Amino acid sequence: MQRKSLDVWVGLFVVLGAAAIMFLALKVGNLSAMSLGPSYTLVARFDNIGGLKPRAPVKSAGVVVGRVESIGFDDRTFQATVTLRMQADVKFPSDSSAKILTSGLLGEQYIGLEPGADDKNFSQGDRIKSTQSAIVLENLISQFLFSKAAEGSKGEEK
């Protein structure tokens, strides 16, 4: 009888430990977020993806509607190929456009989907034609500096 109660306690301990691991995996980790249920993929090409990473959210009107599945490089067009995994119950017109945006000033980058007006919807494997690249801060600064310098040299000519 004493054997049995000891076994019960050991079993309880092991189950508790396993439950803790499950809790970590499901609630703390992103195992549950990984399976979106039924989904379809879209492909988008960007000239520059900035700091976009796999598993970054795809948002439309601020709501997460999918995630970035993988990022590749196409050496014929020299563009980044981004594969998006979209939730199956969310449909978008086939002339929707994708932008790479940043949440907050220094936050993570995500893809913003802007719905178009076409009657046809995207289906599995379609390509998003109109895309807008990430804003690279260095380019922005150098453009600003060049335009300032151009203004300055004009001023000297006068």
142 vs 123: CA distance, rounded Å: 40
CB of 18 to another protein, least distance (A): 7
Eight-state DSSP code of residue 125: T
Q: Which stretch binds another protein (CB under 8 A): 7-15, 69-77, 113-121, 131-139?
A: 7-15
Best CA proximity match to 34, nearest among 104, 73, 87: 87
CB of 87 to another protein, least distance (A): 16
Kindly tell me which of 32 and 70 has the beta carbon lying closer to another protein.
32
Return the residue matching tokens 């959210």: 57
Strands 39-46, 79-87: pairing is antiparallel
Q: In what order do the strands lie in the sheet with 39-46?
A: 127-128, 39-46, 79-87, 63-74, 57-60, 109-114, 97-102, 130-132
> Mask of contacts with another protein, 9-48, x by CB under 8 A?
xx-xxx-xxxxxx-xxx-xxxxxxxx--------------
CB of 83 to another protein, least distance (A): 19
CB atoms within 10 A of CB 124: 10
- Residues in region 69-88 near another protein by CB under 8 A: none
Please report whether residue 136 would count as binding another protein according to CB under 8 A: no
Kindly tell me which of 56 and 113 has the beta carbon lying closer to another protein.
56
Please report whether residue 63 would count as binding another protein according to CB under 8 A: no
**What is the binding site for another protein (CB under 8 A)?**
6-7, 9-10, 12-14, 16-21, 23-25, 27-34
